[in-house]
């Protein structure tokens, strides 16, 4: 909306063209910050009313595959969930107000946010209204891949129009791996994996939200750099013409998640549920692929990756060798079983997330 208004004023737009080095025609840096602030304020304003509405309809039922874990988290029973509904609303509001809605990258990103939020809401509804623990794994995974594939097709169109090669860029050495016809499946895989990784991390008050704020801010920076001709050349990262607009949407997502964290800190007033976790994780991974930084995302989102790998390793070791390497997966539950306080676990994971993000940006200077 703001972009449309500015584009109606020719002299102002000419001035923007003169001072902005190829990343956006209408003050990308300012709009990126404004989108985050708008989404944050929107989440704070929506939060109390949304939580009251959710409390009357959707309350958390602690029912996992571990009786011990259920007992440890028994005090969380009855907490309102599906807080991702007002978080996603804040994200879309911030993105719509400050983003360039004619930009194909933004269109694809908003599709990912909305569609994954809808899938997460369906999963939450099944979990809360039936005896099942959500959608069946196969159903959920198929839906994630299907939605991510649609987003990948939209992304491929955007990259083709921007003249950007659909290669996998290696973080060091300036090398790349061509994807060819595998681009859409690759993006779908990364997007679905990112979505699930954030969802697996959402198990303690403030854990996923806090790590999401750090990782979201980092990917926002990567998107801005990729869309900025001068900085992209200076840091030897792929320049994605128009891709910088994703920084606005990512900033809105980060601001919305920060607003959600206001209510999600221990003891949590609300949980995000799959509605928020799937949508944020999907957008985070999708945006990294859009600016050709999906491999660097492994480091940026190091905490989410570690949580996902802990589940894969736990299941794999048990099925193959008959033992479990950690007390309980995902990884944060291992520390819960070991008697660490929830606050200590969460803050230390936040610190780990910040270190990973800093390391990722430091690696840009090694190229």
Query: What mean pLDDT comes out for the span 141-154?
Result: 97
DSSP state of 268: P
- Structure tokens that stand for 249 in this block: 């949407």
Confidence class for position 1, pLDDT limits 50, 70, 90: low
User: What's residue 216's pLDDT?
Assistant: 97
When pLDDT is averaged across residues 55-79 and rounded to a whole number, the result is: 77
Cα 149 to chain centroid, rounded: 17
* pLDDT given for residue 211 in this prediction: 97
What is the sign, positive or negative, of the torsion defined by CA atoms of 111, 116, 122, 125?
negative
Q: What is the DSSP string of 1-63?
A: -HHHHHHT-HHHHHHHHHHS-SS-SS-HHHHHHHHHHHHHHHHHHHHHHHHHHHHTT-B----
Statement: residue 5 has pLDDT above 50: yes
Identify the weakest region by mean pLDDT among 45-59, 161-175, 185-199, 248-262: 161-175
DSSP letter at 193 equals H
Long-range contacts of 70-74 (CB under 8 A, 24+ apart): 72/336, 72/337
Cis peptide before 267 (omega within 30 of 0): yes
Tokens coding 55: 């409390």
Is residue 15 scored above 60 in pLDDT? Answer: no
Q: How confident is the model at residue 19 (pLDDT cuts 50, 70, 90)?
A: very low
The pair of three-digit structure tokens given for residue 168, joined into one six-digit string: 């996998």
pLDDT of residue 23 exceeding 70, the answer is no
Summarize the confidence of residues 250-279 as an average pLDDT: 96
Q: What is the pLDDT of residues 76-122, one digit of tens each?
A: 888 999 999 999 999 999 999 999 999 999 999 999 999 999 999 99
The C-alpha angle with vertex 137 and arms to 133 and 143, in degrees rounded to 5, equals 115
Note whether 252 and 283 are within 8 A (CB). no
Residue 157 has pLDDT above 90, yes or no: yes
When the pLDDT of each residue in the chain is averaged and rounded to a whole number, the result is: 89
pLDDT tier for residue 68 given thresholds of 50, 70 and 90: confident
Average pLDDT over residues 203-208: 94
Task: Find the Cα–Cα–Cα–Cα dihedral 82, 185, 141, 213, rounded to 10°.
Answer: -30
- What does the pLDDT read at residue 22? 47
């Amino acid at each position: 909306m703001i972009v449309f208004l500015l584009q109606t004023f020719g002299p102002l737009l000419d001035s923007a063209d003169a001072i902005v080095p190829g990343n956006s025609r209408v003050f990308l840096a300012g709009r990126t910050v404004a989108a985050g602030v708008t989404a944050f304020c929107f989440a704070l304003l929506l939060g109390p009313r949304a939580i009251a509405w959710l409390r009357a309809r959707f309350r958390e039922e602690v029912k996992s595959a571990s009786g011990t874990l259920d007992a440890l988290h028994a005090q969380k029973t009855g907490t309102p969930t599906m807080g991702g509904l007002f978080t996603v609303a804040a994200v879309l509001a911030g993105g719509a107000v400050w983003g360039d809605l004619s930009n194909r990258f933004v269109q694809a990103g908003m599709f990912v946010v909305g569609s994954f939020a809808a899938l997460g809401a369906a999963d939450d509804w099944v979990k809360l209204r039936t005896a099942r623990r959500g959608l069946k794994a196969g159903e959920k995974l198929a839906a994630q891949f299907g939605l991510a594939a649609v987003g990948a097709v939209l992304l491929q169109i955007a990259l083709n129009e921007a003249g950007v090669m659909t290669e996998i860029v290696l973080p060091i050495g300036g090398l790349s791996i061509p994807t060819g016809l595998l681009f859409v499946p690759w993006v779908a895989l990364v997007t679905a994996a990112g979505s699930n990784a954030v969802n697996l991390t959402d198990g303690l008050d403030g854990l996923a939200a806090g790590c999401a704020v750090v990782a979201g801010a980092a990917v926002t920076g990567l998107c801005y750099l990729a869309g900025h001709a001068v900085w992209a050349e200076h840091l030897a990262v792929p320049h994605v013409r128009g891709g910088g607009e994703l920084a606005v949407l990512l900033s809105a997502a980060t601001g919305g998640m920060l607003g959600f964290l206001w209510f999600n800190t221990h003891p949590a007033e609300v949980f995000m549920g799959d509605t928020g976790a799937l949508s944020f994780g999907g957008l985070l991974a999708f945006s990294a692929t859009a600016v050709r930084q999906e491999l660097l995302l492994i480091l940026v989102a190091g905490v989410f990756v570690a949580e996902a790998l802990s589940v894969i390793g736990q299941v794999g070791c048990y099925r193959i060798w008959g033992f479990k390497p950690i007390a309980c997966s995902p990884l944060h539950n291992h520390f819960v079983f070991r008697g660490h306080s929830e606050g200590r676990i969460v803050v230390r994971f936040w610190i780990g997330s910040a270190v990973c993000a800093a390391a990722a940006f430091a690696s840009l200077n090694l190229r």
